[in-house]
Amino acid sequence: MASVLVAGGATGIGRAVVQAFRQRGDSVLLADRNLTAAREVAEEAAPGPLRILECDFATADGPGDAVRAAVDFGGGLDVVFYNAGVLLAAPLAEWTVAQWDLSMQVNLRAPFLVAQAAAPHLEKSPLGRLIFTSSTGALRGHAGMPAYHASKAGLINLARALADELSPHGVRVNCICPGWVDTPFNDAFWNHQSSPAEALKELESRIPLRRQAQPEDIAGLVMFLAAPESGYITGESIVIDGGYSAV
């Protein structure tokens, strides 16, 4: 049984990953600022134990608090999945410093602080996995979302730097890069479109699989990267987007 920290696990991809780890029998610490949704996850029956922590990853202390809680709950730490994120959209002229800073705090600073706090524990684990949620948005751009794209691109190179430093100590560090996933997380993007329904229809026509992903589609990749079978993969950013960026 592994000890797992899922940062940002109350909804969407994070929730699906929490469910997958628990079904495997792992011990999961779910850290999220959405306490109501986290409690709903806690009510779901599963073999693996779960503890929830109300945590704001925009703060300087939140990342370390989450790591300490996971170590206390699991008696150590084997896997960290950092999935918390902020997606804001606005015309360039309307962006504020506060919006930019919030995006960087949650999307880039917090995963660094989580890694810094978790590394000594992951190095003691025979598994030792650190997985970040980046995005195909790190590889392309969309109008109105400069902070999201910049921070997710930075996260890919953060993972590369950490892989170089931590892999010799047995810790594999990787990013997943989901494409379009059908969760409320993307509402800011759709609300920024002149016609959300038409924009969605046009988008799905350009995805070879002709649909957005469901959170469970993404969870399978996370579980593979958290498994012994992925032991020779580190420093990578793996796209999972239904073929969207391939054509």
Active site residues: 148
Residues in the chain: 247
Buried/exposed code over 59-79 (b: 16+ C-beta within 10 A; e: otherwise): eeebbebbbbbbbebbeebbb
> Which is nearest to 109 in space by CA: 58, 69, 53?
58
How far is CA 152 from each of CA 27, 36, 132, rounded to the nearest angstrom? 28, 27, 10
CA–CA separation, 154 and 134 (whole Å): 9
Of all helices (H) and strands (E), which one includes residue 118? Answer: helix 110-122
CA–CA separation, 199 and 205 (whole Å): 10
Q: Are 54 and 33 in contact (CB under 8 A)?
A: yes
Of all helices (H) and strands (E), which one includes residue 52? Answer: strand 50-54
Torsions phi, psi for 146 (to 5 deg): -65, -40
Torsions phi, psi for 238 (to 5 deg): -100, 120
CA–CA separation, 42 and 164 (whole Å): 36
The residue type of 42 is A
